[in-house]
Each structure stands twice: as C-alpha cells, then as structure tokens.
Amino acid sequence: MLIPWGGVGCCLSAAALYLLGRSSGRDAEVLRSVARAGSTKDLAAILDTASKVLPLVVAVSGRVGSDTPLICQQSGMRGVIVEETAEQHFLKHNDAGSWIQDSAVMLSVSKEVPWYLDDGTGRVFVVGARGAAGLVLTVASEVFEESGRTLVRGTLDYLQGLKMLGVKRTERVLPTGTSLTVVGEAIKDDVGTIRIQRPHKGPFYVSPKSIDQLIMNLGKWAKLYQLASMGFAAFGVFLLAKRALQHFLERKRRHELQKRVHAAAAQKQAREAEGGNGTSDVDSNNKKDQLVLDICVICLEQEYNAVFVPLAPAWNT
C-alpha cells in the first residue's frame, strides 16, 4: 500500500499546531502568575522583602529614558536602541534573458546605550532588551540613494549582468519617551539600582502592550492554534481512513477474483477428469496449476488467447 503522504502531513501539522497552542497557553498562564509592581517604589519594597534565593519575575511599566541617548543620523530622533541597515538594490540578468530585481544587505549595525523605565517614582534599568519577545522598533527614516551612473561603471555592470539601482538606508529606533511594559527578573544591587533582565527560566517581554493585552493576545493565539490543529487532524484522519478503506476493498476484490479463478479451474479439471483416461494425480495437479495460470479471468472457462501489454494481464477475447 502506498503511504498517503497527504494524510501523514496533515497529522504532523496538527501535532505541531497543538504543541504551539500548548506553548502559547503556558506562556499566558505564566504571565498571569507574574507579580505586578504598581510603581518602581513598590518594586523596591518588594525586592527588600523577597527571597534572595528564588528569582523574582515581575511586570513593570514606564517611559523609556537614558542619560546618554543615541541620535539618529538621518532623522535626528533620540533613542536608546538604533538599528541601521543599507541594502543595495539592482537588476540582474537571468538565464531567460530578462531583468529581475534583487537586493543585498551591505551594512547592518545595531547600537544600544544603558536605558531605563521611569514611572515618576523611580527608575528601573532594562538589560538585554534586544533579545526580548515583543520588542518593536519604530522606523525613523527610509532613504533611497540612486547610484551614480557613469559610462565605465555602467559598462562593467552590464558585462556582469547587473544594473545598479541604488542604496536603501533604513533607521529603526526605540525612541525615548516610549511607554513600555517589561516582564523579567528583577534584581537590586548593593547601591540600590534596580535592573530587569532575562530570567534563567521564565518569560522576558519588552512590549508597548500592557500585561493584560499580552495575556489576551497569547490566549487568542492558543485558541487559534487549537482550532487549526483540530481541523488538520480531522482532515488527516479522513485521508488516512480513505486510503485504508481503498486498500481493504482492493485486497477483498483480488481475493474474491482469485477464488473465482480457482473454482473455475477446479470445475474444468473435474469435467476433464470424468472423460479422461485416468492420468496420474501428479499430472492432474500440474495441469490444474497450469490452468489456473492460463485461464481467462473474464469468462473463467476458456484459456486466454490475447495479451494486453505492458500494463494489463492477459485476457481472453
């Protein structure tokens, strides 16, 4: 039986979606259990009384600030995280003789300075935010610089099968003053500075959404993954059951056909034995086997005298 890869693929997709749904559901439950600090002042008091052994995962909100902010070169915006990319856009000559547009990254630079969240009652420094989930950088500027076209440069590019269009420079930034919610492990050092960083095991979010919005969003994704998993599973089971039923009916049809062939051969052998001259049992068995091989599967009485090649077996006409 050929393996129904469509059904197998649907079942595997259903399993993957189920695992994603379980993961999103667990993340939502973890966020529900996170301690919420009403203010930085309250967080400092919680850290003073918290256990020094177990990590404290909290959620804090505030506005982004820094003592040494970065200034974007193109837009002039102030931010604490700046990413600059430069992409070379060009047309290349393909094998079909036409020109297609493509691009290649020439430069990718990311800068970050020490920054904090300020809610009016104190500051909480955030460490390692670029590796957190939910971080969204604002596009500060997009500038396209056309390539200078000279006769020599154009000729060399054409011989290489290229036409340079220009360079696209993009700046993305986390601006100062942005309202953020940070979920992570809170630590207070001997000086009294509070930091939030990625916990050894647990959630780490830096998002413009509130923690309630994060929980709701994860819950929606969990339900969506579960519904999609059920749909793929049902369709996969249908395809597998359909293929199994077809295989069963095919085997049953072949078995019944084989029984009819053997029965017809036995009847013909019996008729020939009645009018025969008493040949030996060995010769009779050999002849019966030969009849089974040579008998027509349509009329089940005569030997075949025509053959269809190469796909069909021999048939009687």
Q: Where are the domains of the chain?
A: 37-217
Contacting residues for 264 by C-beta, under 8 A, at least 6 apart: 295, 300, 301
Provide the CB-side half-sphere exposure for 224 (13 A, CA). 7
The pLDDT assigned to 312 comes to 45
Using CA atoms, how far apart are residues 59 and 289, in angstroms rounded to an integer? 84
The pLDDT assigned to 307 comes to 54
Local confidence pLDDT in tens for the 317 residues of the chain: 567 788 888 889 999 999 998 888 888 888 888 888 878 888 888 887 776 667 788 889 999 999 999 998 888 899 999 999 999 888 887 777 777 888 888 889 999 999 999 988 888 999 988 888 888 899 999 888 887 666 656 666 666 677 778 889 999 999 999 999 999 998 888 787 889 999 888 889 999 998 889 899 988 999 999 999 999 999 989 988 888 888 888 888 888 888 887 887 788 777 777 765 555 554 555 555 555 555 565 565 566 666 555 554 444 44
Using CA atoms, how far apart are residues 168 and 89, in angstroms rounded to an integer? 7
Residue 35 in tokens: 């301690």
Q: Which DSSP string corresponds to 123-186?
A: EEEE-SGGGSBT---EEEEEEEEEPP--HHHHHHHHHTTEEEEEEEEEEEEEETT-EEEEEEEE
Which amino acid, one-letter code, is at 288? K
Strand-strand pairing, 70-71 and 205-207: unpaired
The pLDDT assigned to 317 comes to 42
**Residues 91/100, Cβ–Cβ less than 8 Å:** yes
What phi and psi values does residue 285 have, to the nearest 5 degrees? Answer: -65, -40
Using CA atoms, how far apart are residues 86 and 188, in angstroms rounded to an integer? 40
